[in-house]
Structure formats: C-alpha cells, structure tokens
Amino acid sequence: MARNLNHLDYVEILCGSLGDLPAAFARLDAVNRDKPTVAKHTGTDPETASLSTRDRKLVRIPALQQVITAAALSR
C-alpha cells in the first residue's frame, strides 16, 4: 500500500494530499479513541488487544503493571 502513495490519483482519493495523510490517519484513530466503553463491555484493554494471548496475559498481571509503573517513574 505504501507504494500507492507514489500515485497522485490514489493519494487524492485517499486523503487529498500527502500533507493531509497524518490528519487522515488521526481521523481513523479518533473513532477508536471515542469508544472507551468498548473495553468495559468486552473486558479487553485496547492498548494490549493486538498482542498474542500469551503476551496479553503477561502484561495484564497487576503486579507487572506496578513494576513497570515504578520503573518508569524512577527515571
């Protein structure tokens, strides 16, 4: 798909211009940002939903989250 960005007609249909591409992606993401209730209803965490099941289980352990938070705050 990235090669299509070399075709001006494709870019124009997609987002208008290459300069408008970041805003177009932001608009796509805005739909997901405006749905905080999805995580509440499905029990999923949007930040970790794309991880493998094994990794998802690991990063969702509360004790691990505390260790990561403590490490981040110690810097």
Band (72; pLDDT cuts 50, 70, 90): confident
Q: Are 64 and 57 in contact, with CB atoms under 8 Å apart?
A: no
Structural domain boundaries, residue 65: 45-75
Q: Is residue 49 part of a domain?
A: yes
- Helix (H), strand (E) at residue 14: helix 8-14
Q: Is residue 39 part of a domain?
A: no
Q: Is residue 40 part of a domain?
A: no
Place of tokens 């209803």: 41
Domain count across the chain: 2
- As a whole number of angstroms, the distance between CA 32 and CA 2 comes to 23
25 and 53 part of one domain: no
Give the other-Cβ count within 10 Å of 19's Cβ: 9
Coil, strand or helix at 39: helix
- Which range of 5-9, 37-41, 54-58 scores highest in mean pLDDT? It is 5-9
Q: Which of the pair, 42 or 6, is modelled with greater confidence? A: 6
49 and 28 part of one domain: no
pTM above the 0.85 mark?
Answer: no
Query: Which pLDDT value is given to residue 44?
Result: 62
3 and 30 part of one domain: yes
Query: Which pLDDT value is given to residue 62?
Result: 82
